[in-house]
């Protein structure tokens, strides 16, 4: 998956990005998903401990083929992260990077991503969104069960979707 974070005035403007075109001023990641990983950040910053991360994100739009989603980040998360002082941002990232999700990620990549997201969250009066786009391989794997059934495959049983790495 590719996650692109951006700031625009409202849900309607954010939904226009579902076409997959370039988003000016966006911050990208292949690791930081808007629910579970940003939920971890929200808890680190003082959000609800029992939260499963889904309060951190709200679906705004979905492409007809399901390849792209536009998700609004919660006001609470945006506000908390926007209030982090630049001098303490490195400390926040260091603690956040201890998550097992980042074991394979480059620390510099997470620092650069966090700095960019921090800029989006700092009191601009805009809402912060994420456009999640499935990779070609993920789309092909997800479509395989339907294709196999149409081609007269051995079994009508659907295959499970591949696990994200």
pTM equals: 0.79
What is the predicted pLDDT for the residue at 152?
Answer: 47
| Nearby residues of 34 by Cβ (< 8 Å), 6 or more positions away | 3, 5, 56, 57, 71, 73, 130, 132
pLDDT at 161: 46
* Per-residue pLDDT, 42: 84
pLDDT at position 41 is 87
Whose structure tokens read 């998360």?
Answer: 77
- Burial code of 114-123, b = ≥16 C-beta within 10 A, e = fewer? bebbbebbee
Determine how many CB atoms are found less than 10 A away from the CB of residue 107.
Answer: 11
Q: How far apart are CA 76 and CA 56, in angstroms?
A: 8
| pLDDT averaged per 10 residues, the chain (length 165) | 95 96 93 83 77 69 93 90 92 88 76 94 90 80 56 50 50
User: CA-CA distance, 108 to 30, in Å (whole number)?
Assistant: 14
Look at residue 14 in the predicted model and tell me its pLDDT. 97
Q: For residue 151, give Cα distances in angstroms to 97, 135, 136, 147.
A: 45, 24, 21, 6
Cα–Cα dist 133/60, whole Å: 14
Two tokens, residue 125: 């009066």
Instruction: List, for residues 79-120, the tens digit of each pLDDT value.
Output: 999 999 988 999 999 998 888 878 777 776 889 999 999 999
Structure tokens at 132: 């999640």
E strands, 36-105, where? 57-62, 68-73
């Amino acid at each position: 998956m590719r996650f692109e974070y951006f700031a625009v005035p409202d849900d309607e403007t954010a939904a226009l990005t579902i076409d997959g075109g370039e988003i000016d001023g966006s911050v990208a990641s292949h690791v930081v998903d808007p629910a579970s990983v940003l939920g971890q950040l929200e808890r680190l910053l003082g959000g609800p401990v029992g939260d499963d991360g889904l309060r951190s994100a709200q679906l705004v739009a979905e492409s007809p083929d399901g390849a792209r989603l536009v998700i609004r980040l919660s006001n609470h998360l945006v506000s908390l992260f926007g209030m982090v002082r630049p001098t303490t941002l490195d400390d926040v990232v260091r603690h956040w990077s201890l998550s097992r999700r980042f074991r394979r990620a480059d620390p510099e990549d997470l620092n650069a991503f966090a700095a960019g997201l921090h800029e989006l969250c700092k009191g601009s009066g805009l809402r912060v969104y994420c456009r999640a786009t499935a990779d070609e391989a993920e789309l092909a794997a997800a479509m395989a069960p339907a294709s196999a059934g149409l081609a007269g495959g051995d079994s009508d049983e659907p295959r499970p979707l591949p696990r994200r790495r």
